[in-house]
């Protein structure tokens, strides 16, 4: 007989939901499933009748969950007269407890046998007691009753566990975030489930942490203080197959003080001498340490502390203001001292250059001054940065070639006196501060106008002038402050006016006096004017002066006389007449009656000289007299003898000018007038 060879079935059957054994629905579903899986395998095999004996045996009952359970299916065929074929077909195994198909096995035909068997293993059975069924579908027909076998699945025995503890950073720094990790393992292998409670110094660190699929649980902490801390981890299993365990971190967790760094900054660099500068220290914790440092900072300059230790604020900063750093390069350092043991000290520094202070010099004096006239010039020196005055600094002020020096006062102002010595015109005033050890130089200049110095001219020459004689003209030229003007200035004198004016020019001497003569004065008799004029030059303004003059003349022959007691300016006098002696009382005694007032003196009379007169009518007077007549003033007239032949003499104490009122050439007519000027 030709038999169909056995064929292995590797594809798993579709899952079925079945009820427990005995249920018609379950058996029907299993049968249908088997037929579908058998497919064309059963087609060429002729049915040989139903299988008469089917058995299912659990080969390793009980088993531990997760371990394979093996079942053996056995089938025996109905025995025919000739050699029957062995049972064959597709055997489907399903779990009566779970209701699901466990798998499929192929029962291949066996040659010259009337029975056959196949083994099937599965590890998918859950905890508990299971009834496993087998259904044969194939050419040999189904089993009259699907066989079943009981299978007990027990839990594994509880396994000891071990817990190891590790730290992400050990030693760590103050406030550093540290991850503590517990690794839990079952002694017999496999996954663990449960929680881990960490402790440090016997106190819980966080709450219970769930163990993950890799057997690990972790907790973060940054609150451990500086020092050594024992750390433990207690594992509590949530599975009955695993025992609890605990472990500790070898050596414990060591927390060291955090390192710090101190940075120093300056509000300005370079700065100027005396300028306020703010130095700021910023103290920070160096990673992996954390937190804001607490403590004090001491600032120092080149290693020498200045100011008290300053506490850090909530941001780790401390600042100080200094304005007394000297000119030059400085190293400003800040040293941080922690207030506790949580941080390590540190220091930092910054370079600070202090330069001389910038200055501003501003000229604020007058913009003009007279030549040769003292002028007070001034300037104010201040700091450029804040405008504050600088006292006690030397400032030089210059106008053209003239300079003066002065020290600034408390307001920064320097003033001194300059006397310009240049011609009038546009010039420059300059103020210069040369600088010193702490201040930079500065200067200022402004236009300055030198103006001509005012002058005064005073005529000092002759004002009573004899016609035909020499006019001695003179004047004094002075500046407005009374000082003599510089020598060599030209002064012009003018007697009279109009076409008949007569002039002369003189140069001033070092005393400011100028003089010259107008020879042979030829001006109308009587009141006149003499003028002195200084025309301006490059240094001085013009000035002038004038004086009233009296031009007089002596008679064509002889000279008349008046007594000294009445010959006063403005007095009416009798200079000739029969009663001259009576009209002219003399201070030295009465005149002889023989003297009628006319002297026979020849030449130009002079004060202090004497005169003579003819007796008996006093000589022969001129037919007329000048309208302004030069007249002698005598204090004594005497006769040298007696009789008509006696000589008359007298003294000349003064000479005056008499404006003639009446005159006749005889004693009876006589002559009168008014004294208008004194010659000498």
Tokens standing for residue 543: 């000035």
> Measured at the alpha carbon of residue 345, what is the angle toward residues 339 and 346, in degrees to the nearest 5?
135
* Positions of E strands within 400-542: 402-407, 413-418, 425-433, 442-451, 455-459, 464-466, 471-479, 490-495, 502-507, 513-518, 526-534
Tokens standing for residue 23: 């249920």
Level-2 CATH architecture, domain 359-451: Sandwich (2.60)
Question: Would you call 674 helix, strand, or coil by DSSP?
Answer: strand
> Measured at the alpha carbon of residue 570, what is the angle toward residues 569 and 574, in degrees to the nearest 5?
95
- Specify the residue for token string 């100011």: 307
Q: Do domains 24-154 and 161-256 have the same CATH topology?
A: yes
* Helix (H) or strand (E) run with residue 34 in it: helix 24-38
Task: Check residues 170 and 639 and name the one with the higher pLDDT.
Answer: 170
- Per-residue pLDDT reduced to its tens digit, 11-36: 333 333 333 334 444 444 444 454 44
| Residue 169 banded pLDDT, cuts 50, 70, 90 | very high
Length of the chain: 680
| pTM: predicted TM-score of the whole model, two decimal places | 0.58
- Per-residue pLDDT reduced to its tens digit, 120-132: 999 989 888 999 9
> Measured at the alpha carbon of residue 530, what is the angle toward residues 526 and 531, in degrees to the nearest 5?
155
Q: How many CB atoms lie within 10 A of CB 74?
A: 17
Tokens standing for residue 94: 């399903």
- Specify the residue for token string 């005694």: 589
For the chain, give every domain's residue range. 24-154, 161-256, 260-355, 359-451, 455-551, 559-678
- Per-residue pLDDT reduced to its tens digit, 582-634: 999 999 999 998 899 999 888 788 888 899 888 765 578 999 999 999 999 99
The CATH fold assigned to 24-154 is Immunoglobulin-like (2.60.40)
d(CA 137, CA 27): 12
Question: What is the sign, positive or negative, of the torsion defined by CA atoms of 591, 592, 595, 600?
Answer: negative
Indicate the DSSP class of residue 429.
E
| Residue 309 banded pLDDT, cuts 50, 70, 90 | very high
Q: What is 455-551's CATH number?
A: 2.60.40.10
Burial class of residue 674 in the structure, from the number of CB atoms within 10 Å of its CB (0-12 exposed, 13-18 middle, 19+ buried): middle
Query: Domain 161-256 - what CATH class?
Result: mainly beta
- Per-residue pLDDT reduced to its tens digit, 566-577: 999 999 999 999
Query: Domain 260-355 - what CATH class?
Result: mainly beta
d(CA 262, CA 385): 31
Average pLDDT estimate for 62-88: 79
Summary mean pLDDT of the chain: 89
């Amino acid at each position: 007989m030709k038999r169909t060879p056995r064929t292995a079935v590797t594809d798993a059957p579709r899952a079925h939901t079945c009820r427990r054994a005995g249920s018609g629905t379950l058996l029907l579903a299993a049968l249908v499933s088997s037929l579908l899986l058998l497919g064309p395998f059963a087609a060429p095999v002729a049915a040989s009748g139903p299988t008469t004996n089917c058995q299912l045996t659990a080969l390793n009952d009980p088993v531990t969950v997760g371990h394979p359970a093996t079942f053996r299916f056995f089938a025996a065929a109905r025995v025919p007269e000739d050699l029957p074929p062995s049972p064959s077909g597709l055997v489907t195994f399903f779990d009566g407890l779970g209701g699901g198909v466990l798998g499929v096995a192929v029962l291949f035909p066996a040659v010259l046998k009337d029975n056959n068997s196949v083994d099937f293993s599965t590890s998918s059975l859950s905890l508990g007691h299971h009834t496993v069924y087998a259904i044969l579908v194939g050419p040999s027909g189904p089993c009259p009753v699907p066989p079943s076998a009981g299978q007990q699945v027990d839990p594994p025995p509880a396994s000891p566990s071990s817990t190891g503890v590790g730290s992400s950073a050990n030693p760590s720094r103050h406030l550093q975030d540290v991850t503590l990790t517990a690794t839990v393992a079952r002694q017999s292998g496999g996954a663990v489930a449960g929680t881990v409670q960490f402790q440090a110094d016997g106190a819980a660190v966080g709450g219970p942490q769930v163990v993950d699929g890799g057997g690990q649980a972790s907790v973060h902490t940054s609150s451990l203080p500086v020092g050594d801390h024992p750390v433990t981890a207690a594992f509590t299993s949530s599975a009955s197959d695993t025992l609890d365990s605990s472990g500790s971190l070898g050596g414990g967790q060591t927390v060291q003080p955090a390192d710090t760094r101190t940075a120093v900054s300056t509000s300005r660099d370079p700065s100027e001498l005396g300028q306020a500068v703010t130095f700021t220290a910023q103290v920070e914790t160096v990673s992996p340490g954390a937190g804001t440092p607490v403590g004090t900072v001491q600032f120092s300059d080149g290693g020498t502390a200045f100011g008290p230790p300053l506490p850090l604020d909530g941001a780790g900063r401390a600042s100080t203001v200094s304005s007394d750093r000297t000119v030059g390069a400085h190293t400003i350092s800040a040293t941080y001292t922690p207030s506790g043991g949580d941080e390590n000290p540190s220091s930092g520094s910054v370079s600070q250059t202090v330069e001389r202070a910038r200055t501003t010099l501003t000229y604020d004096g007058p913009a003009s001054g007279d030549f040769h006239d003292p002028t007070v010039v001034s300037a104010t020196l201040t700091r450029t940065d804040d405008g504050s005055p600088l006292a006690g600094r030397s400032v030089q002020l210059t106008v053209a070639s003239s300079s003066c020096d002065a020290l600034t006062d408390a307001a920064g102002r320097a003033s001194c006196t300059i006397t310009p010595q240049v011609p009038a015109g546009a010039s420059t005033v300059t103020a210069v501060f040369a600088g010193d050890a702490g201040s930079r130089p500065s200067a200022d200049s402004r236009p300055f106008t030198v103006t001509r110095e005012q002058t005064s001219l005073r005529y000092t020459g002759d004002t009573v002038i004899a016609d035909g004689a020499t006019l001695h003209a003179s004047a004094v030229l002075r500046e407005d402050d009374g000082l003599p003007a510089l020598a060599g200035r030209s002064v012009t004198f003018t007697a009279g006016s109009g076409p008949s004016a007569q002039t002369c020019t003189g140069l001033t001497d070092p005393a400011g006096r100028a003089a010259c003569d107008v020879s042979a004065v030829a001006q109308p008799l009587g009141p006149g004017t003499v003028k002195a004029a200084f025309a301006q030059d490059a240094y001085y303004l013009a000035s002038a002066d004038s004086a009233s003059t009296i031009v007089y003349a002596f008679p064509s022959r002889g000279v008349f006389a008046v007594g000294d007691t009445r010959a006063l300016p403005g007095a009416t006098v009798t200079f000739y007449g029969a009663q001259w002696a009576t009209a002219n009382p003399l201070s030295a005694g009465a005149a002889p009656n023989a003297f009628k007032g006319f002297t026979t003196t020849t030449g130009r009379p002079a004060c202090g000289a004497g005169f003579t007169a003819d007796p008996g009518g006093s000589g022969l007077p001129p037919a007329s007299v000048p309208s302004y007549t030069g007249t002698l003033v005598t204090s004594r007239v005497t006769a040298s003898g007696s009789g008509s032949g006696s000589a008359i003499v007298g003294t000349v104490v003064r000479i005056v000018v008499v404006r003639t009122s009446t005159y006749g050439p005889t004693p009876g007519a006589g002559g009168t007038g008014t004294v208008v000027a004194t010659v000498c």
